Chains A and B, each alone.
Chain A
């Protein structure tokens, strides 16, 4: 939804739009009478409501400084529920070879109701717990990564991260298609369009990983699965 009063400049533009639209109503009132003007007024009112309801254009990509004098690469990893997945961990380890700084951002998923009516403390706690688990696993695999909890909107979380971390590459991890809310919302496509750096999409099937891990445990303990 577009907010016509987000800034003074946008509010001023909205004033100008209203002046033009309601001038049309006034002209209709003068030449066509009250009922014609009322009809034009209603049509324009619906038009204005649709304009406000429509999605704003994607903002300009965030500007960030890419690369550093010391030549180290920067890898930005964005994941939430899949942040501790094995497939993602392996992908990060593979890409983080050599001199690479890794930042893992875990968006704090929150319901819309909670977002507007309450706080996101609980969502951030859960995200932080997943992040800690992921960072510990990466450390075990020899990757020295740091992490932070981000905005509930993954694209906004990437924007926020890029302001202080000029990534050379972005890795976004999601559930498989059909189970991923982010894929449903087109996060990958929007991010590819929005950011100029290479972007990799890693699909993590947590159910398959858990099933595989359970089978491996069964095999190790000499039990057979039914």
Chain B
């Protein structure tokens, strides 16, 4: 009896897996859920500052102006990059390797352009994060998003290098390395749309 008992516990339990969701995708869901909460906290701070601090003096405060049209251009660039990302994934699903490489390259370049334009915008804004609540929340939100774009660029670069080396194929399990950065990239895109409308438009 003691031997049988010992035998039952001499290895970890066998992992049970349903076809409902792939564990790697599940990891990405949890990651995105945590990201939503992170952005949520920044948005909360932004709206808090806007309602409490900017309630009487208007928002943005007098003397502060945001380059709405430059940010709109950035929005168009980022939304376009979602199209090229989608194109890349459709290409790999059809076994079109050159389409995959072209799609990822374009997505990477568009993302890089977005980031460079944002950096340029920062240098010309004329106010700093430490000046007031408006500056803090503006740089906090857009900077947080910029950091995510930077992470996304790294993921895209990694996927691009792997695609050039021929690591991906049309079967679902062979292009998960493109699918996951794609989901992340679209998430970053959605977040920017919300940031743009919230911070620059309304």
Please give the residue numbers on chain A whose beta carbons come within 8 Å of chain B beta carbons, in ascending order: 3, 5-9, 11-12, 14-15, 18-19, 22, 25-26, 29-30, 34, 37-38, 41, 108, 119-121, 124, 149-151, 153, 156, 159-160, 163
Contact = CB atoms under 8 A, between A and B. Distances in A.
Contacts of A29: 197, 201-202
Interface residues of B, number: 30
Contacts, number: 85
A5 B32 contact: yes
Contact of B202 (A9, A34, A160): A34
29 contacts: A3-B29, A8-B86, A8-B178, A8-B179, A8-B182, A11-B183, A11-B186, A11-B187, A12-B85, A12-B86, A12-B182, A15-B82, A15-B190, A18-B193, A19-B79, A22-B193, A25-B201, A25-B202, A26-B197, A26-B201, A34-B202, A37-B197, A41-B198, A108-B16, A120-B16, A150-B18, A153-B20, A159-B19, A160-B18
Nearest to B178: A8
B89 A8 contact: yes
Contact of B197 (A3, A6, A25, A159): A25
Interface string B182-202: 110011011001101110011
Contact of A8 (B18, B20, B59, B85): B85
B13 interface: yes
Interface of B: 13, 16, 18-20, 25, 28-29, 32, 59, 79, 82, 85-86, 89, 178-179, 182-183, 186-187, 189-190, 193-194, 196-198, 201-202
A197 to B, nearest CB: 20
Given A5-B28, A11-B186, A12-B82, A19 B193 contact: yes
Nearest to B87: A12
A9 B88 CA distance: 11
Contact of B194 (A6, A18, A108, A121): A18
B29 A151 contact: no
A82 to B, nearest CB: 22
Given A15-B79, A22-B197, A160-B18, 14 more contacts: A7-B183, A8-B85, A8-B86, A8-B89, A8-B186, A9-B89, A11-B183, A12-B182, A26-B201, A29-B197, A29-B202, A41-B197, A156-B20, A160-B19
Contacts of A30: 201
Contacts of B20: 151, 153, 156
A15 B186 contact: yes
Nearest to B196: A22
A213 B182 CA distance: 60
Given A9-B86, A29-B202, A124 B16 contact: yes
A7 B179 CA distance: 7
Nearest to B189: A15
Given A5-B187, A8-B183, A38 B19 contact: no
Contacts of A8: 85-86, 89, 178-179, 182-183, 186
B17 to A, nearest CB: 10
